[in-house]
A and B are shown apart, each in its own frame.
Chain A
């Protein structure tokens, strides 16, 4: 029998080119490529390791916060990223809402931070859930390298690298959830880890929310918008209609009440093209690509 050539649709299959194994005991939460394009780091709950792309069987441990006695563990690493221009500088965030900036030139093991960013707690907002909602789920340098952005459960914060004692900007992502924290703790949604992104010029920041909503904040005009990534509610190439969540009292037409939000539809991952106004949004098992309306 002569083999027959049968045309088929293009199939894409991912195969690993290199595997960097056996350096992490705990769940890996971040990887970040260095600006030298020779090294990258990987971070788990308690340690951060530095790798060379060409060397798969060896890494250097650069951060280790594992206590000698695990009983004393009260804080874990939640995210880490290299500075976009300075290949010796990186930041990592913690479950207690703090960010540490480290310089790899100071020592092999970056146990002591060069800078420590933490906002003092607001005593009027204190509750048993304060620590959980302060846990940072994502940290991102601005493209300029002058700012970092952090995402915690209810807000996005922008920090100036030169000011450690508080952020320069705070944006409320879904403050209407503040009175629902108990329920969100019960159903575990309070542990959801949302990412955040900068646009190419660092003027707009974006992050996801529930009900397939995602939010954008313009840092200059201070305007914000809520959009929805859903096939049911918008056709391809149609302009997205801004959404609004109604927090109480009369619900206007087209507004959604807090109690109608679908908490299983969460947008945790988003990305922004480095130079164009094109965004990618992951909603459950769908990937949406949106762009500025053209012509």
Chain B
């Protein structure tokens, strides 16, 4: 499911007065929400052209949403800071518009089925860190944002170990965000969960795409159970491991 607090508070700024303890305790910052929306949108775009018959209207709308977020992040200065660290990669805008949009539409024009997975493998070929974890490669299906984030981690605190991982993330998000979160610890839990959630969501979305079912909003408003937390742990360990590799390299 989606990030715990996120499903309660939407980007249009409207307060969700369902006000359970979970809702009050962990309201992610606007920047975090925005980042999660960006991640989710990128995942959707990738899924778009995994389909045999990609939906151009949907792809265009999602791509426009990504651009909007990007533009706002650029104006914020948030994007600028991450961008200056990028290792000569094309900006996300180019990536979205060329690779993703073109691929889906070109594919339609040619009437061919684009083997999405083989394309992704090509992108990740030279990168052992990402190959080593399915979680990372599926959740971070577009290379740019993940690499940019890993560069940020590098910049902030090169000597990382598992214990300090969360602390450095804290420093990074504090510099990025304008508003202060209610609880810094809750911020971490939201961030950590989001990687796992993106993955489940990815699986969830694949089945949704096939079956055409919607889970219903009930599913979204139910608080995360203990089961999913324990599933989180293994993924978190994997994630920590990868960050270690990225940071030390």
Question: Is A261 an interface position by the 8 A CB rule?
Answer: yes
B34-85 at interface with A (beta carbon < 8 Å):
34, 37, 40, 53, 55-58, 60-61, 63-65, 68-69
Contact with B along A119-156 (1 / 0, CB 8 A): 00000011111011001000000000000000000000
> How far is the CB of A30 from the nearest CB of chain B, in Å?
12
CA distance A185 to B37 in the complex (A): 9
Contact with B along A173-213 (1 / 0, CB 8 A): 00000111111111111010000000000000000000000
Residues of A close to B98: CB separation below 8 A: 71
> How far is the CB of B90 from the nearest CB of chain A, in Å?
12
Q: Knowing A132-B65, A189-B214, say if A182 contacts B6 (CB, 8 Å).
A: yes
CA distance A209 to B171 in the complex (A): 45
CA distance A188 to B69 in the complex (A): 19
Interface 9-mer from B101-109, B119-127, B176-184, B241-249: B101-109
B106 in contact with A183 (CB, 8 Å): no
B216-230 at interface with A (beta carbon < 8 Å):
216-218, 220-221
Question: Is B205 an interface position by the 8 A CB rule?
Answer: yes
Residues of A close to B149: CB separation below 8 A: none
A186 in contact with B57 (CB, 8 Å): no
Q: Considering residues A74, A75, A184, A186, which has the most beta carbons from chain B within 10 angstroms of its beta carbon?
A: A186
Question: Is B2 an interface position by the 8 A CB rule?
Answer: yes
Residues of A close to B97: CB separation below 8 A: 71-72
**Interface residues of A, count at CB 8 A:** 44
Q: Knowing A129-B12, A259-B218, say if A183 contacts B7 (CB, 8 Å).
A: yes
A188 in contact with B64 (CB, 8 Å): no
Query: Contacting B217 at CB < 8 Å: which of A26, A29, A126, A259?
Result: A259
* CB-CB nearest in chain A for B47: A188
> How far is the CB of B3 from the nearest CB of chain A, in Å?
10
A180 in contact with B218 (CB, 8 Å): no
CA distance A46 to B60 in the complex (A): 12
Query: Contacting B60 at CB < 8 Å: which of A74, A184, A185, A258?
Result: A74
Contact with B along A236-259 (1 / 0, CB 8 A): 000000000000100000000011
Question: Is A228 an interface position by the 8 A CB rule?
Answer: no
Query: Contacting A259 at CB < 8 Å: which of B60, B205, B212, B221?
Result: B221
Q: Please tell me the size bucket of the interface on B.
A: 35 or more
CA distance A25 to B97 in the complex (A): 20
Q: Knowing A75-B60, A126-B12, say if A70 contacts B217 (CB, 8 Å).
A: no
> How far is the CB of B241 from the nearest CB of chain A, in Å?
28
Question: Is A78 an interface position by the 8 A CB rule?
Answer: yes
Query: Contacting A261 at CB < 8 Å: which of B10, B16, B34, B217?
Result: B217
Q: Considering residues A26, A76, A128, which has the most beta carbons from chain B within 10 angstroms of its beta carbon?
A: A128
Question: Is A53 an interface position by the 8 A CB rule?
Answer: no
Question: Is A263 an interface position by the 8 A CB rule?
Answer: yes
CA distance A184 to B11 in the complex (A): 12
A interface list, Cβ under 8 A from B = 25-27, 29, 45-46, 70-76, 78, 95, 125-129, 131-132, 135, 178-189, 191, 248, 258-264
The 10 listed contacts between A and B (C-beta, < 8 Å) are: A25-B109, A27-B53, A70-B106, A73-B60, A74-B63, A127-B12, A132-B61, A185-B37, A187-B215, A188-B208
Listed from nearest, the 8 A-B pairs whose CB atoms lie closest are A127-B12, A263-B214, A71-B97, A182-B10, A183-B220, A45-B56, A179-B14, A264-B213
